[in-house]
C-alpha cells in the first residue's frame, strides 16, 4: 500500500519525541482541569512534522498530510504567541511592582513582621491597595463618582504639604423620585438586543461626605459694589461658618486697605502655589459675570473644585445665583446635596512646523468657552486644513474657525451661526466664521475625537489663535493647533438643575423666541 511510507514517517517522528511528548502532556495540566493543547506537540516534533517528506501518490493522504502541516503551523504560532504574551505580562507585572514600591517609599509604612527589604514594601503596598480598592468600590462603585476620581491630578508631590480636603460624591439623580437612582450603563447588550440607558431626565447631584472647610472667593475687578459685597461675604463666611478664606493677591490688598480685620485671609505668592490650589480649596465662589467664571476656571490647570457663581454681570449663562440672598444660597450649597453641571473644557496644543514630532508641543491651554482661529489684521482669507482623528474634514476659507465647547455654544459660536447646545452634552462645536461658501454649515462632533487645524504652506498669510478671548498666538505656515476634550471638567452649582438653569439663561439673557402672542379674536378656520 502507498500509505505505509507516510505511516512509517509519522510513527518515527512520534517515537522520536515520545519521551518529550509524555513530559509535555504531564506538565500541561491547567488549574481548571483542562489540558493545554499547545503543549501536546514539542517544538522538535512540530519541526519534524513540517519537514517530513510525503511519499506516495495517494491524493487523500497528501491532503491529510497538508492539513496536518497546517495544524502544526497553527499550533506553533499559537504556542509562540502564548509565550510572547506570558513574557509581556511578566514584564508588565515587574514594572507594576516596582512602580508600586516606589510610590510606597514616598510615605512612611509599617513593616510587616518576618519581611525585609523590597518584599516587605511590595507586600505591604499590595495589602493596602486591596483595602483601598474595597473602600473605593463601596463608596463609589455602586453609588456614583467620588471626589478622589474627579479631583485626582497625577501623583502627589513628596515635598508638598498634605492638606485635608472635604470629600464629596457625584451621582445621577432622577427628577421626581425621592431616592437617588444610580445607573452607570450607557449601552447594554442582553439576549442580542442593544439598549441605551434613559438619562434625559437625570441630573448630577453633589453630596458632601465631609464638611467643606476652605473656600476661594474670586471677584470681578474695578467694581466698587463687588468689592463691598466681597468684604461682607468674607466676614460672614469667617464668623458664621468658621471657614478658611483664599482670595487673589489683588483682593487681599483691597481688603487689608479697608480694615486690618482681614488679616486671616490667605492668598498665594507665585504660579507654583496656584498649581496646588486644587489640593487646598474645597469650594470656589465667583462674584461677577461669565467672564469671572472663565477666569476662575483658567486658574486651575487640572482638577477644578465645585464652583458657586453669583451673577453680577450683564449676561448670566453660567451664573444662576443672585447676590441678594447669598446667605441662603451658600447655606444650601454647604449643606448639600445640590445639582451640578459638569462643564467640559477643551485642551489645546500648538505644534510648530519646526517640531520634530507631534509630541513636541507648547504648554497645553485649557478653554471653557472656545478656541478661535482667525485671520487677524490680514486682508486675505484664512486658509485652514481641518482633520478629525486623522481624517480630512474640510478646508476653511473665510474669516476663521471656532472650536467650541457646549458651554460656549451661547458665546462666539452662537454669533457665528452655531447652534445652542445644552452644556452637559459632551461634544465639540465646529463653527466657521463668515465662510466664503454658502454650503459650509456648522457641525457638532462627539467628545472623543481629536481635531487638528493646520495652516497650509500655500497660505497667503498667518493665522491667529485665541483661547477664551485671550492669549493670542500666531500660527505660521506649517503650524498646527490640536484640540481634544480635557479630562477635567468645571463643576458649577445649579440654582434648580442644569436644564432649568440653561433654559432660564437663554430666555432671560437672549430673549429667545420672544414675540407677541397671536390675538385669539381673529379669523378662525370653519
Q: Which residues are catalytic?
A: 290
Q: 198-202 long-range contacts, Cβ below 8 Å, gap at least 24? A: 199/172, 201/174, 201/175, 201/176, 202/172, 202/173, 202/174, 202/175
In angstroms and rounded to an integer, the radius of gyration of the C-alpha atoms of the chain is 32
Of the candidates 213, 217, 294, the one whose C-alpha atom is nearest the C-alpha of residue 250 is 217
Contact 385, 479 (CB under 8 A): no
Of the candidates 372, 373, 351, the one whose C-alpha atom is nearest the C-alpha of residue 362 is 351
Contact 525, 381 (CB under 8 A): no
Contact 303, 150 (CB under 8 A): yes
Task: In whole angstroms, give the CA distance from residue 371 to residue 367.
Answer: 7
Of the chain, the end-to-end C-alpha distance in Å amounts to: 101
Helices (H), 264-360: 271-274, 290-298, 326-335
**Cis amide bond preceding 337, omega within 30:** yes
Of the candidates 94, 43, 102, the one whose C-alpha atom is nearest the C-alpha of residue 73 is 43
Element holding 464 (H helix, E strand): strand 463-467
* Rama region for 520: left / alpha / beta (φ>0; ψ in -120 to 50; rest): alpha
Site of grid cell 441630573: 203
Assign 71 to helix, strand or coil: helix
Site of grid cell 459675570: 289
Task: In whole angstroms, give the CA distance from residue 324 to residue 83.
Answer: 70
What is the DSSP code (8-state) at residue 518?
A: P
Task: In whole angstroms, give the CA distance from residue 181 to residue 173.
Answer: 6
Q: CA angle, 393 as apex, 386 and 387 as ends, to 5°?
A: 40
Contact 395, 426 (CB under 8 A): no
Task: In whole angstroms, give the CA distance from residue 121 to residue 112.
Answer: 9
Amino acid at each position: 500500500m502507498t500509505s505505509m511510507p507516510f505511516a512509517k514517517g509519522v510513527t518515527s517522528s512520534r517515537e522520536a519525541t515520545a519521551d518529550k511528548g509524555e513530559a509535555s502532556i504531564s506538565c500541561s495540566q491547567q488549574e481548571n482541569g483542562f489540558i493545554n493543547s499547545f503543549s501536546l506537540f514539542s517544538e522538535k516534533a512540530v519541526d519534524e512534522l513540517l519537514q517530513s517528506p510525503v511519499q506516495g501518490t495517494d491524493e487523500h493522504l497528501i491532503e491529510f498530510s497538508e492539513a496536518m502541516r497546517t495544524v502544526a503551523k497553527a499550533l506553533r504560532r499559537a504556542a509562540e504567541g502564548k509565550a510572547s504574551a506570558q513574557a509581556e505580562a511578566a514584564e508588565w507585572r515587574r514594572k507594576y511592582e516596582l512602580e508600586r514600591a516606589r510610590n510606597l517609599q514616598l510615605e512612611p509604612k509599617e513593616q510587616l513582621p518576618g519581611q525585609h527589604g523590597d518584599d516587605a514594601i511590595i507586600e505591604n503596598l499590595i495589602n493596602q491597595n486591596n483595602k483601598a480598592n474595597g473602600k473605593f468600590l463601596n463608596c463609589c462603585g455602586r453609588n456614583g463618582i467620588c471626589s478622589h476620581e474627579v479631583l485626582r491630578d497625577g501623583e502627589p508631590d513628596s515635598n508638598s504639604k498634605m492638606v485635608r480636603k472635604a470629600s464629596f460624591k457625584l451621582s445621577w439623580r432622577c427628577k421626581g423620585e425621592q431616592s437617588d437612582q444610580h445607573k452607570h450603563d450607557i449601552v447594554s447588550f442582553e439576549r442580542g438586543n442593544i439598549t441605551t440607558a434613559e438619562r434625559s431626565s437625570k441630573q448630577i447631584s453633589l453630596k458632601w461626605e465631609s464638611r467643606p472647610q476652605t473656600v476661594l472667593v474670586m471677584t470681578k475687578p474695578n467694581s466698587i459694589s463687588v468689592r463691598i459685597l466681597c468684604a461682607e461675604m468674607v466676614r460672614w463666611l469667617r464668623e458664621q461658618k468658621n471657614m478658611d478664606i483664599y482670595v487673589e493677591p489683588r483682593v487681599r490688598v483691597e481688603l487689608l486697605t479697608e480694615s486690618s480685620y482681614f488679616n486671616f485671609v490667605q492668598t498665594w505668592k507665585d504660579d507654583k502655589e496656584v498649581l496646588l490650589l486644587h489640593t487646598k480649596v474645597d469650594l470656589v465662589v465667583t462674584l461677577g459675570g461669565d467672564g469671572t467664571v472663565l477666569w476662575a476656571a483658567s486658574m486651575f490647570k487640572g482638577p477644578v473644585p465645585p464652583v458657586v457663581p453669583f451673577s453680577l454681570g450683564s449676561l448670566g449663562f453660567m451664573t444662576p445665583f443672585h447676590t441678594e440672598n447669598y446667605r441662603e444660597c451658600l447655606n444650601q450649597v454647604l449643606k448639600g446635596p445640590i445639582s451640578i453641571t459638569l462643564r467640559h473644557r477643551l485642551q489645546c496644543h500648538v505644534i510648530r512646523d519646526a517640531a520634530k514630532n507631534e509630541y513636541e508641543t507648547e504648554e497645553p491651554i485649557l478653554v471653557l468657552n472656545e478656541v478661535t482661529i482667525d485671520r487677524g489684521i490680514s486682508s486675505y482669507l484664512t486658509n485652514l486644513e481641518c482633520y478629525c482623528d486623522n481624517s480630512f474634514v474640510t478646508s476653511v476659507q473665510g474669516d476663521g474657525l471656532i472650536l467650541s465647547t457646549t458651554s460656549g455654544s451661547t458665546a462666539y459660536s452662537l454669533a457665528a451661526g452655531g447652534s445652542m447646545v445644552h452644556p452637559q452634552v459632551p461634544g465639540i462645536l465646529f463653527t466657521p466664521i463668515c465662510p466664503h461658501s454658502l454650503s459650509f454649515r456648522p457641525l457638532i462632533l462627539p467628545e472623543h475625537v481629536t481635531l487638528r487645524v493646520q495652516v497650509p504652506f500655500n497660505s497667503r498669510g498667518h493665522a491667529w489663535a485665541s483661547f477664551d478671548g485671550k492669549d493670542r498666538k500666531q500660527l505660521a505656515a506649517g503650524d498646527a493647533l490640536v484640540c481634544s476634550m480635557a479630562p477635567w471638567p468645571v463643576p458649577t452649582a445649579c440654582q434648580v438643575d442644569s436644564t432649568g438653569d440653561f433654559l432660564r439663561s437663554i430666555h432671560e439673557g437672549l430673549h429667545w423666541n420672544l414675540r407677541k402672542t397671536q390675538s385669539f379674536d381673529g379669523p378662525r378656520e370653519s
